[in-house]
């Protein structure tokens, strides 16, 4: 298949582009490298040193003989997007290219407006581009489990069968997101569902949980292919953040009670889920939702797991219960369905002490790159 990976310079997109290329797909990347510019804005960095996108694809070609074409541009620029679609004529368009940090979207009005404009307009342009240039192309869009929030009933995969006043229907699952970022994904989902209905576009919305880990088989092949890994209070996510904190002797930053429970998955499963979606496209006009996570954990349980493994590796670290900078439930029911990807062949890499140990060992050599002032959360929801 010809597959475009938009956001292919990012944490999930880069390993996905390599993995799909390795499987024999003809891959190209769209990215405006804005994530690298956000590091400059936030005076932050990836704990792992990362090569430029040009160096990365050149190294991949040198090692495998496989070419990954790159297009440096913004999905918000429709003329640019049209030209890429005309040139590539993709069978699948994998869309990772959004501002993905909840705290970044909550910094102030400008960052909230940027997040929603970047994400919602970008996705709307992709929908128009597919309709105009490649109407059969399968849109594989990254949504988020956080679209659902934390309702007091089990979370289904996109739709809920309900009975009301004696009548039954299957309706989109109610959305109660917890940040302007998570809201941008809800707005995207509505736009995609509508475009499928009116224009017959085929789309898969992957409501992904929190991704942990660093490397895949492909990114491990050479230091130039190394993936980015965020640890700072804005882009760093639970688990990865805790592992890195443990290596520098920082208390593990559990927000509030730590009973916040979420779906998680290994980066190795992210790349496989994309392949599964691409190999099993949605039908024309179908808007399909898969919950893309493999296990559920509370933040406190993850901190305890990291503390135990870190101690065995010689890093003594405490768990701190910080005042929660977010507005969210800290003790709640959480159970979400995640059978659709497994039914199509996903064999999850589950979280074990060994997995935590391997991530820790992969980052410890770079611990001197951590900018300590960036570790504590600085963005407040209130």
- Residues assigned a catalytic role: 144, 181, 185
Selected binder of ligand USQ within 8, 149, 213, 263 (CB under 6 A): 263
- DSSP characters for 40-91? HHHT---SS----HHHHHHHHHHHHS---EEEE--TT-HHHHHHHHHHH--S
- Tokens 């109660």 sit on residue: 176
Beta bridge partners of 4: 28, 93
State the residue number with the nearest CB to ligand USQ.
146
Complex with ligand USQ: residue 93 or 255, whichever CB lies closer: 255
Percent helix, strand, coil in the chain (nearest 5)? Answer: 40, 20, 40
Cβ of residue 238: shortest distance to ligand USQ, in angstroms? 4
Q: Which does 34 bind (CB under 5 to 8 A by kind): ligand USQ, ligand NAD, none?
A: ligand NAD
Binding mask 110-149 for ligand NAD (x = CB under 6 A): --------x---x-------------------x-x-----
Q: Which is it for the CA torsion 109, 112, 117, 120, positive or negative?
A: negative
Selected binder of ligand USQ within 111, 250, 288, 326 (CB under 6 A): 326
Work out the number of other CB atoms within 10 angstroms of the CB of residue 329.
16
200/292 Cα distance (integer angstroms): 24
Please choose, out of 95-103, 167-175, 323-331, 356-364, the segment that lies near ligand NAD by the rule CB under 6 A: 95-103
Binding mask 85-114 for ligand USQ (x = CB under 6 A): ---------------xxx------------
Q: What is the number of residues in the chain? A: 382
Considering only residues 24 through 53, tell me which ones interact with ligand NAD, judged by CB under 6 A: 30-35
Please choose, out of 84-92, 97-105, 320-328, 367-375, the segment that lies near ligand NAD by the rule CB under 6 A: 97-105
48/220 Cα distance (integer angstroms): 12
Selected binder of ligand USQ within 35, 95, 202, 262 (CB under 6 A): 262
Q: Which does 288 bind (CB under 5 to 8 A by kind): ligand USQ, ligand NAD, none?
A: none
Cβ of residue 26: shortest distance to ligand NAD, in angstroms? 20
328/349 Cα distance (integer angstroms): 29
Q: Which does 150 bind (CB under 5 to 8 A by kind): ligand USQ, ligand NAD, none?
A: none
Asked if residue 9 binds ligand NAD (CB under 6 A), the reply is yes
Please choose, out of 16-24, 106-114, 154-162, 249-257, the segment that lies near ligand USQ by the rule CB under 6 A: 249-257
Q: 177-210 in b/e burial notation, b at 16+ Cβ within 10 A?
A: bbbbbbbbbbbbbebbbebbeeeebbbbbbbbbb
Beta-carbon contacts of residue 344 (< 8 Å; ≥ 6 apart): 276, 280
Name the strand (E) or helix (H) holding 17: helix 13-22
Which positions touch ligand NAD (CB under 6 A)?
A: 7, 9-13, 30-35, 74-76, 96-100, 118, 122, 142, 144, 208, 210-211, 237
Residues that bind ligand USQ (CB under 6 A): 100-102, 144-146, 182, 209-210, 237-238, 241, 253-255, 260, 262-263, 299, 326, 328
């Amino acid at each position: 298949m010809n597959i475009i990976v938009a956001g292919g310079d990012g944490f999930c997109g880069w390993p996905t582009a390599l993995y799909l290329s390795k499987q024999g797909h003809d891959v190209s990347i769209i990215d405006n490298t804005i994530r690298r510019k956000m590091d400059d804005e936030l005076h932050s960095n990836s704990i792992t040193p990362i090569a430029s996108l040009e160096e990365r694809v050149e190294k991949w070609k040198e090692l495998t003989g496989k070419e990954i074409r790159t297009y440096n541009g913004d999905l918000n620029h429709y003329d640019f997007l049209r030209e890429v679609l005309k040139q590539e004529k993709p069978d699948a368009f994998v869309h990772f290219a959004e501002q993905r940090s909840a705290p970044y979207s909550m910094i102030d009005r400008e960052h909230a407006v940027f997040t929603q404009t970047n994400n919602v307009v970008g996705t709307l342009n992709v929908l128009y581009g597919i309709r105009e240039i490649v109407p059969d192309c399968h849109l594989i869009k990254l949504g988020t489990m956080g679209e659902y929030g934390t309702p007091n009933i089990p979370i289904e995969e996109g739709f809920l069968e309900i009975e009301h006043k004696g009548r039954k229907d299957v309706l989109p699952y109610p959305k109660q997101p917890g940040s302007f970022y998570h809201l941008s994904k809800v707005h995207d989902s509505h736009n995609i569902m509508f475009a499928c209905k009116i224009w017959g576009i085929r789309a898969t919305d992957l409501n992904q949980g929190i991704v942990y880990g660093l490397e895949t088989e492909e990114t491990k092949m050479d230091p130039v292919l190394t993936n980015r890994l965020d640890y700072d209070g804005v882009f760093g996510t639970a688990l990865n953040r805790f592992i890195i904190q443990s290596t520098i002797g920082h208390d593990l930053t559990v927000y509030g009670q730590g009973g916040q429970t979420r779906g998680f998955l290994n980066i190795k499963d992210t790349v496989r889920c994309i392949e599964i979606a691409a190999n099993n496209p949605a039908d024309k006009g179908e808007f399909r939702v898969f919950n893309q996570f493999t296990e559920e954990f509370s933040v406190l349980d993850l901190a305890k797991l990291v503390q135990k493994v870190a101690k065995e590796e010689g890093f003594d670290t405490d768990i701190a219960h910080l005042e929660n900078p977010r507005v969210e439930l800290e003790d709640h029911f959480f159970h979400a369905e995640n059978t659709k990807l497994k039914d199509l062949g996903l064999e999850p890499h589950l979280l074990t002490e060994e997995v935590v140990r391997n991530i820790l060992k992969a980052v410890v050599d770079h611990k001197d790159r951590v900018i300590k002032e960036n570790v504590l959360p600085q963005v407040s929801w209130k």
